[in-house]
């Protein structure tokens, strides 16, 4: 199924894509009150499998907890519903969007009187930053928009409202001719892209900003830690000053949508020699070997679609 077709799981039942609607006075539309996840399902030689389903479900429920949303389904029910959504739509490779939102009932900022509705959609979605990006890398800028200061918007929650900040970052970069933007945090350290975590490589060591740098704790980011260590690489969380981006040997993004995307140019300055670096390529290849079932799933990261 492509975007716009098939069935959507909505509050426990499958409905046709065109019937998965909300009232225009639903709380979420006015106040950004939703929490969501992004997952990918990949096809191996024989079967398809969703990458890190359990970790995504855990993060969805963590995001809901931060915003005091009582989820009307158990994690087990939600997990099953994600798999069923892929199955019912006969998708072998897809992007999956489970979410929960404050629905219709009461107007006003206080969300607590509104129902919590849940839905899951899935569709085919290719490379997020373009097919060429994964091979050749992308050109990005450091945007003048900052990520939210601590104690403002909780960055660890993957909440709809946070993505107004991401939209400003992305629009600023794209309008200026770049493929993506990198934002600094409140203190001026490197934070992340509009929808990706960032890693730099210098003298053979991989560094990435800590969770205190107003980042989303990416599940691909965590996978990069595990993969890099298994490949015998050194990887650390560290505050990263902006100028470290310019003098890095390699820089790359990680994310469910962007997967592992090399960054080859930042603010018109070449990263290394301007081509995807060796460490980036090794991590990327090891990542694809896992998701496409070419190597053993040592960590139980794949949820097979039976
Ligand atoms: N940061 C932001 C702001 C994101 O939206 C995403 C995508 N979910 C990420 C980082 C990467 O997270 P993950 O690897 O879990 O997709």
Centre of ligand 1 to C-alpha 173, Å, is: 18
Centre of ligand 1 to C-alpha 107, Å, is: 30
Nearest-CA residue for atom 4 of ligand 1:
195
Kindly report the average pLDDT of the chain as a whole number. Answer: 97
What is the SS3 assignment for 40?
strand
Q: What is the tens place of the pLDDT at every residue in 259-270? A: 999 999 999 999
Residues of the chain with pLDDT > 90, as a percent, come to 94
Backbone phi and psi for residue 108, each to the nearest 5 degrees, phi listed first: 115, 160
Task: Please report the sign of the dihedral spanned by the C-alpha atoms of residue 304, residue 120, residue 111, residue 157.
Answer: positive
- Residues 27 and 25: their CA atoms lie apart, in Å, by 6
Residue 197 Cα: closest atom of ligand 1: 10
Q: Is the pTM of this model over 0.75?
A: yes
Residue 162 Cα: closest atom of ligand 1: 3
Q: What is the tens place of the pLDDT at every residue in 79-132? A: 999 999 999 999 999 999 999 999 999 999 999 999 999 999 999 988 777 778
The residues carrying an active-site annotation are 158
Confidence of residue 46 (pLDDT cuts 50, 70, 90): confident
pLDDT at 128: 78
State both tokens at 304: 């097979």
By most ligand atoms within 8 Å of CB, the mutation choice from 215, 216, 226 for ligand 1 is 216
Centre of ligand 1 to C-alpha 105, Å, is: 31
Q: Which residues line ligand 1 (CB under 6 A)?
A: 38, 166, 192, 195-197, 216, 218-221, 254-256
């Amino acid at each position: 199924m492509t975007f716009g077709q098939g069935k959507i799981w909505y509050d426990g039942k499958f409905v046709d894509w065109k019937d998965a609607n909300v009232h225009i006075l639903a709380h979420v539309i006015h106040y950004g009150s939703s929490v969501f996840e992004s997952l990918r399902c990949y096809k191996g030689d024989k079967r398809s499998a969703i990458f890190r389903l359990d970790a995504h479900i855990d993060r969805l429920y963590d995001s809901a907890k931060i915003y005091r949303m009582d989820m009307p389904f158990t994690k087990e029910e939600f997990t099953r519903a994600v798999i069923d959504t892929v199955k019912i739509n006969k998708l072998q490779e897809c992007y999956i969007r489970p979410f929960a939102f404050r629905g219709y009932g009461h107007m006003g900022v206080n969300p607590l009187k509104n129902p919590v509705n849940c839905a899951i959609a899935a569709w085919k979605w290719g490379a997020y930053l373009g097919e060429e990006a994964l091979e050749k890398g992308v050109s990005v800028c450091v945007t003048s928009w900052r990520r939210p200061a601590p104690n403002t918007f909780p960055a660890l929650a993957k909440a709809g409202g946070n993505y107004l900040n991401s939209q400003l970052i992305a629009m600023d970069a794209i309008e200026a001719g770049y493929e993506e933007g990198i934002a600094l945090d409140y203190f001026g350290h490197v934070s992340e892209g509009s929808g990706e975590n960032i890693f730099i490589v210098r003298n053979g060591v991989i560094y990435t900003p800590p969770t205190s740098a107003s980042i989303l704790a990416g599940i691909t980011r965590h996978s990069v830690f595990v993969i890099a260590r298994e490949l015998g690489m050194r990887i650390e969380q560290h505050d990263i000053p902006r100028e470290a981006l310019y003098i890095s040997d390699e820089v790359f993004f990680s994310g469910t949508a962007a997967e592992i995307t090399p960054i080859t140019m930042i603010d018109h300055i070449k990263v290394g020699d301007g081509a995807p670096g060796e460490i980036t390529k090794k991590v990327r290849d090891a990542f694809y070997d896992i998701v496409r079932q070419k190597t053993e799933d040592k960590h139980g990261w794949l949820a097979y679609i039976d």
